[in-house]
Chains A and B, each alone.
Chain A
């Protein structure tokens, strides 16, 4: 699919690295076209489990490490407007639901995005992902039909394709795959093992499946009152 310019793109994800895994390529393509991109990252991934053995971090030093990684990843993607929203990892679903909807509404009011990228409700595995997606979809659902931005949802639960069919938005990101790799590498505390594994596979002549660096796939979220 051809990527068309947008007025403003808003990313809403709960953890540093969610954006890189799901959308780094598409974001880089928008930035290369001069489209403004804002990323609201809700937590610092404070509860990440990978501390290494021997450890490179503690439970208490991890947030600062991940904050720096996030800044570096944003640099690789060309995101100049990064908002760290200050929530705590794994607690989003326990926050007041209205407060989360309001947070998204405020971002929409301020930025007037034509496209929002988040997770796909019910198909995004992690409770923080689900809570984030619910808040975004609810905020957009409450808008007048003709003012709503398009919302792309990232779904990766094992039953996603069986129940939802193939994603309707498939972006060929080959031209920016080096940038995506850089964004993922920036999240070193989360991705070192993966990139190491990939290197090993390349050495063995079996690189990680093309899907990682060739395509990014999204479901356009539909609202009940739409055709």
Chain B
């Protein structure tokens, strides 16, 4: 993965529009967050291989970036995206990595189900 290049990423987001695609969406603080800090309220969400179809998507030029996908009846978005790549299987992998290199958010789009 490399750091977000807004124009390039936008092009890849566009390429999956109006197709049935599978998404992986994840936010996380890590399972040990409360172990290290008892006051920490640990909340996260995870969805893998939900099938969606978006009319269009947009990456916002801010750092870290936000990515939103407009569905026929709703939305998908992720905040905190820093890195991305189109992997060797043609899947668009986006991730938000904090300065220590820990993943905080992931949004991935694929035409075939993730393993």
Contacts and interface: CB of A to CB of B under 8 A. Distances in A.
Given A51-B95, A51-B101, A52-B101, A60 B114 contact: yes
A51 B103 CA distance: 6
B46 interface: yes
A49 interface: yes
Contact of B1 (A55, A125, A128): A55
Given A51-B95, A51-B97, A90-B46, A59 B31 contact: no
Contact of A49 (B2, B35, B102): B102
Contacts of A55: 1, 83, 95, 97, 101
B32 A59 contact: no
A60 B35 contact: no
A55 to B, nearest CB: 5
Contacts of A51: 1, 95, 97, 101-103
A125 B97 contact: no
Contact of A58 (B26, B28, B35, B85): B85
B31 A126 contact: yes
Contacts of A53: 82-83, 97-101
Question: Chain A interface secondary structure, helix, strand, loop or mixed?
Answer: loop
B107 to A, nearest CB: 10
A52 B99 CA distance: 9
B70 interface: no
Interface residues of A, number: 19
Given A90-B31, A90-B46, A49 B93 contact: no
Nearest to A55: B1
A209 interface: no
Interface of B: 1-2, 24, 26, 28, 30-32, 35, 38, 46, 82-83, 85, 87, 91, 93, 95, 97-104, 106, 108, 114-115
Given A51-B97, A61-B87, 17 more contacts: A47-B28, A49-B28, A49-B103, A51-B101, A53-B82, A53-B101, A55-B95, A58-B85, A58-B93, A59-B106, A60-B91, A60-B115, A90-B31, A126-B31, A126-B32, A128-B31, A157-B35
Interface of A: 47, 49-55, 58-61, 90, 125-128, 157-158
Closest 10 CB pairs of A and B: A53-B101, A52-B101, A49-B102, A53-B97, A126-B31, A49-B103, A55-B1, A125-B35, A58-B93, A59-B106
